[in-house]
Amino acid sequence: MPLTTEQESRHLEKRHRKARFFAIFCAAITWSSVLLLAVLLYQVSIEGFRWLDWQFISSFPSRFPERAGIKSALVGTIWLISLVALISIPVGVSTALYLEEFAGKGKISKIIEVNVANLAGVPSIVYGILGLAIFVRFFALERSLISGALTMSLLILPVIIIASREAIKTVPQGIRNAAYSLGATKWQTTWAHVLPASFPGIMTGVILALSRSIGETAPLIMIGAMTFVAFLPEGPMDSFTAMPIQIYNWVSRPQEEFHELAAAGIIVLLAVLLAMNATAIFIRNRTERRMK
Amino acid sequence: MSQFPDSTLAEQNLQMSKKSVLELRNVNIFYSDNQAVNDVSFNIRRNKITAIIGPSGCGKSTLLRSLNRMNDFVDGARVEGELIFSNENLYGKEVDPVEVRRRIGMVFQKPNPFPKSIYNNISWGPLINGYNGSTDELVERSLKQAALWEEVKDRLHESALNLSGGQQQRLCIARALAMEPEVLLMDEPCSALDPISTARIEDLLFELKSSYTIVIVTHNMQQAARISDYTAFMEMGDLIEFNVTKKIFTRPAMKRTEEYVTGRFG
Ligand SMILES: Nc1ncnc2c1ncn2[C@@H]1O[C@H](COP(=O)(O)OP(=O)(O)OP(=O)(O)O)[C@@H](O)[C@H]1O
Ligand SMILES: [Mg+2]
């Protein structure tokens, strides 16, 4: 007897065809978005490559394109991102831990959950207005790095909280039970087992959130980051500029050279973004491997 | 004592309570509004193995979890009645559940090693509870007790997740033993294991009996008959019968028990 009848094999053939079609469909979509990104990069490179040299990276902005550079914006962005990471990661992860592990499943957690999810969808300019009112004016932090970092942290907190909660949810209950049955307190269980086990997932959320904040312009303009800064910030209270603002500024000038400078700025911005993500992914994979 | 008309019975009772580690008195357990365990009373004797048997859903796991307050983590679970352990009600107001779980350990149905090294799996519990002896010795001793040492002694620092299911379960037993609990609760510890691993764990329980008190939930009648000294038979949340294992399996008092243990269960 043959393994399958003719009718069965025809049916099987059809199912295989469906699977193949779906695989090709997905691959096509993936590659088209990669292609789009490649075209964008190509375009930007062509335009900006000419300007991309050490002089560009190590110079302050200037009225003369050949003397202008991105130094203050680059340093400002690095400052900003570091502060945002320092503020948003501990706050976001603690919030997620609290909501998942300690708060219980009552009405209040439900309300908080819905609110956080909605906050993730609020336009960034609204956070800018909030930051202006609260940090710049009310707390009188002025148009400083710390105002920018706090505003930006508010903006990305929902993303970090939601991603961290999802990561914490995936930790098997068995691990918690094991810890409790050994006489561990809730805190010991959370700190020694739940947090490490959800770390890779939390890192993914943090990477996404920080990547978003590095490119955000609107809230920074709102709280009044400057567009022409010819000095480097030395502390969180100093005024600053950031790369997206510098790029925006260059793009909005009439001269063609400045548009090319903007392209060069975009390349630097992407490089910083890539470096940051690579570091985070490296850390994540190392801890992931350690846990296996 | 006066409430006992027959003095020998009173004496017997006293004798019994000396030998028992845990006394369940009218234990009722609820999940929100549903009652899962109805008015269960029996004693768990020191250095004996007590088996809890009964059809699926009759409340065995629920009852077992109440013995070390693991039900605290189940939403809506509520325990009423008294569970006397070292002259104290486990559910008394002054009792710290963390302390209860430190002294009454648990092995779960599904092996649940921490995603850490074999060594750290064993040492973590004692370390957070203030153990300050040699962890190397502790790890070796616990793994030997759980009959796992020979298989893993050369890879103590590898991840516990690389072990086979049976090895993982023995690791979980070793981890529980490292705490030197007074009572060890086991919820179907062999249900995910092959006959060889099961036999090893049964042998192990036999050896552990001299120094530990064990309560084991099992679906396997032969296993209960082989390893336990006392057996509690439950059905739909009721304790139908509690007695010496031999009695339960040869001359049970209740018809339901007989039907269940002989497999003529409706
Ligand atoms: N977390 C829970 N919430 C609500 N009801 C529960 C919960 N856990 C168990 N129950 C109910 O309590 C009853 C007893 O469940 P339990 O898990 O103790 O049974 P069991 O005897 O261990 O069964 P099995 O042999 O299948 O493991 C069942 O009716 C079950 O539906
Ligand atoms: Mg069960």
Residues of B with CB under 8 A from a CB of A: 68, 70, 73, 75, 98-99, 101-103, 105-106, 108, 110, 112-116, 124-125, 128-129, 159, 161, 172, 175-176, 179
Question: What string of DSSP letters covers B170-220?
Answer: HHHHHHHHHT--SEEEEESTTTTS-HHHHHHHHHHHHHHTTT-EEEEE-S-
Burial class for B112, CB neighbours closer than 10 Å (0-12, 13-18, 19+)? buried
The whole-chain average pLDDT of chain A stands at: 88
End-to-end CA distance of chain A: 46
The CA distance from B257 to B223, in Å, is: 16
| Domain layout of chain A by residue ranges | 5-51, 54-291
Cα B61 to middle of ligand 1, angstroms? 7
The CA distance from B239 to A211, in Å, is: 60
Instruction: With CB atoms and an 8 Å threshold, state whether B99 touches A181.
Output: no
Q: Is the pLDDT of residue A15 over 70?
A: yes
Q: Tens digits of per-residue pLDDT, A174-203?
A: 999 999 999 999 999 999 999 999 998 999
The CA distance from A233 to A76, in Å, is: 7
Average pLDDT (A98-103) is 88
Angle between helices B165-178 and B118-128 (to 10 degrees): 20
Average pLDDT (A211-218) is 88
In terms of residue numbers, what domain contains B201? 18-261
Residue ID of nearest Cα to ligand 1 atom 8: B62
CATH code, domain with B45: 3.40.50.300
CB pairs under 8 A between A and B: 67
Asked, for residue B4, whether it belongs to a domain, the answer is: no
Q: Tens digits of per-residue pLDDT, A199-212?
A: 989 998 998 899 98
**Structural domain total, chain B:** 1
Strand partners, B106: B185
Cβ count near A227 (within 10 Å)? 15
Residue ID of nearest Cα to ligand 1 atom 19: B57
The share of chain A scoring above pLDDT 90, in percent, equals: 41
Nearest CA in chain B to A186: B98
Each residue's pLDDT expressed in tens, for chain B with a length of 266 residues = 344 445 455 555 555 555 788 999 999 999 998 999 999 999 999 999 999 999 999 999 999 999 999 999 888 899 999 999 988 899 999 999 999 999 999 999 999 999 999 999 999 999 999 898 899 999 999 999 888 999 999 999 999 999 988 899 999 999 999 999 999 999 998 887 788 888 888 988 988 888 899 999 998 888 999 999 999 999 999 999 999 999 999 988 888 888 888 876 54
Instruction: Determine the distance in angstroms separating the CA of B54 from the nearest CA of chain A, rounded to an integer.
Output: 24
Average pLDDT (A239-257) is 88
Q: What is the pLDDT of residue B207?
A: 87
The CA distance from B266 to B253, in Å, is: 18
State which ligand 1 atom lies nearest to the alpha carbon of B54. 21
User: Taking CB atoms and an 8 Å cutoff, what residues of chain B touch A184?
Assistant: 98, 125, 128
Average pLDDT (A86-96) is 95
Instruction: With CB atoms and an 8 Å threshold, state whether A172 touches B112.
Output: yes
Structure tokens at A90: 């501990």
Q: A65 or A35: whose pLDDT is higher?
A: A35
Average pLDDT (A271-285) is 87
The CA distance from B95 to B102, in Å, is: 12
Residues 6+ apart with CB under 8 A from B263: B221
Whole-complex ipTM: 0.88
Instruction: Determine the distance in angstroms separating the CA of B176 from the nearest CA of chain A, rounded to an integer.
Output: 7
Q: What is the pLDDT of residue A291?
A: 62
Q: List all residues whose CB is within 6 A of at least one atom of ligand 1.
A: B 31, 36, 54, 56-62, 74
Asked, for residue B93, whether it belongs to a domain, the answer is: yes
Domain A54-291 -> CATH class: mainly alpha
Instruction: Determine the distance in angstroms separating the CA of A166 from the nearest CA of chain B, rounded to an integer.
Output: 19
Name the band, by pLDDT with cuts 50, 70 and 90, for residue A49.
Answer: confident
CB B257 within 8 A of CB B240: yes
The share of chain A scoring above pLDDT 70, in percent, equals: 98
Nearest CA in chain A to B113: A175
Q: Which amino acid is at B69?
A: R
